[in-house]
A and B are shown apart, each in its own frame.
Chain A
């Protein structure tokens, strides 16, 4: 597909039915298409199987929404989330759709700043703005939003968001003691009850077992992709890797896993033949830190435009989402929910204290991805990642790992400064 004829497809009638601000949203759609064309379709040596994911971007505001509306018609729940701690297996077990909602664009922030304070996380503002401005078809499709308590900005924004769309909150503890696990299991049960309430039927152990397999398979496919990115020369760009991790949050999970595996088959052939997207001399960078929600490709684009290749994302939209699997051997509901909770408790988000397992995990992924440097990425006002950065930096100093930390938001105003920093970091690695 060439840059010229790529577009994000328009579905104005469906959008009007979803009570969206159609003229405004249509502009955002065109802009996304242009940006995607420039950033993605101009890349050299892309794997052929990326065509599916290009199409997922093309249909992001149309085809995929249609599929979700079909599911909704049958009375199954459509649940919107903002965090990898919300167990999607439960929604899938109910026959529903769990979707990670929009929150990666500067375009919706002015809508949010009409009511929310300016000095809070751009992701939270962007997300709220998408609902307030009626410019996200996913937000317009969900039955409810299930938030969580992983940061103060989110926790308090849910109260305000609830005025626009029913919003429930899962309490995520801040420590990982036995009593926190007890609370967590109760919270998971409340979530299941809410999902069952919408679809007016109970989830069986067999349903849940099947859903656990489905989501495990999706996570395994992403693990496989990550392992292939360790090859040198890198068989796929970091931008494409990130895009796939972003699409994982809105695609149908069975089909998505199939397509990722099909791509991995192609990448395996590339690795065997020594074919890469960039030559072996390109500096290999691992990105670690806060999530990059679609269409936030800012840092990857800067890195790869400067001649590097991103080989790993240690992030919620990245390995934190798929590094752990749920034990598939449990057959009764209580044990399944316990196994599920145990898996979710392994996620090493900086909202926990202490959280030293993340520092070990970053080092482990640095080694397994065969990166040559770590770029720590923190969104502005994300206090927990910003402070935990100190420990990541200390670890890198101790291990002699080239390291750059940046704090930024979605605006383009600091691109010049970031470009200088990133190029200097690459000069440092190239020596």
Chain B
């Protein structure tokens, strides 16, 4: 079997292929001990080759993985699997947001990542959801019910949280604030897209692609450009790693 494992900052994802067929996939919280977690996830397979990606990739390499690739390359391979003509990828994970440009052959030609702070990442949305009293899974849907948007000016997660608290205390409806939070993420994302450049369609991967408000705001901002995702956007990195394991094997 060819295994791809994506040790992300918030969750660990595993995708397993046998004879070119996707046979298994898993997603669990990284927890306090990502190494133990990862080991228990891959223990069930008879692995011919394991390729690791994500923040914990080097830890995995040290203990069990045969090779590492960056999230950027993994997402490029994974996104192309579903969308073979894809030239632009947005990936928003727990700790970073990235825009990746591919050449016609699917090789990474340019990329942008957020700076070292959490602004515009999944973690940012998670903290804001908690501070506004929403479960993460409902946060985007609630924001879409807003009738009136407000602007969040702070780029820093810590300052944005204070800003959100002061808005709550001025009596601004939480759904409107939620909309403002989503808008601030999309503004940053569009800024990164403009720096890298993009074509007619964009593939959106990473857990945040499940958030309907981010997807809709992004679609609104980009007009005719098509924003598309596969049904399991958070597995794209692990899938890319698994496919990479397979390619290398064939060569």
Which A residues contact B (CB, under 8 angstroms)? 407-408, 413-414, 416-417, 420-421, 423-424, 427-428, 431
Contacts and interface: CB of A to CB of B under 8 A. Distances in A.
Interface of B: 55, 68-73, 95-96, 107-109, 111, 113, 115-116
B72 A420 contact: yes
A421 B113 contact: yes
A178 to B, nearest CB: 39
Contacts of A421: 111, 113
A431 B107 contact: yes
B107 A424 contact: no
Max chain B C-beta neighbours (<10 A), residue from A414, A420, A431: A420
Contact of B116 (A413, A427, A428, A431): A413
B115 A423 contact: no
Contacts of B55: 416, 420
Given A424-B72, A431-B107, 11 more contacts: A407-B115, A416-B55, A417-B95, A417-B116, A420-B70, A423-B70, A424-B70, A424-B71, A427-B73, A427-B108, A428-B111
A413 B117 CA distance: 10
Nearest to B115: A407
Contact of A427 (B69, B96, B115): B69
A427 B108 CA distance: 8
Contact of B111 (A407, A413, A417, A424): A424
Contacts of B108: 424, 427-428
Nearest to A408: B116
Contact of B70 (A408, A413, A427): A427
21 contacts: A407-B115, A413-B116, A414-B115, A416-B55, A417-B95, A417-B96, A420-B70, A420-B71, A423-B68, A423-B70, A424-B70, A424-B71, A424-B72, A424-B73, A427-B72, A427-B73, A427-B108, A428-B107, A428-B108, A428-B109, A431-B107
A413 B107 CA distance: 30
A421 B97 CA distance: 12
Nearest to B69: A427
B232 to A, nearest CB: 22
A424 B95 CA distance: 16
Nearest to A427: B73
Contacts of B109: 428
Contacts of B70: 420, 423-424, 427
Contacts of B96: 417, 420
Nearest to B9: A416
Contacts of A431: 107
A417 B72 CA distance: 12
Contacts of A428: 107-109, 111
Given A420-B96, A428-B107, A428-B108, A414 B69 contact: no
B169 to A, nearest CB: 27
Contacts of B115: 407, 414
A137 B71 CA distance: 44
A427 B68 CA distance: 11
Nearest to A413: B116
A387 B107 CA distance: 29
B151 to A, nearest CB: 23
A428 B110 CA distance: 8
Contacts of A408: 116
Nearest to A431: B107
Nearest to A305: B58
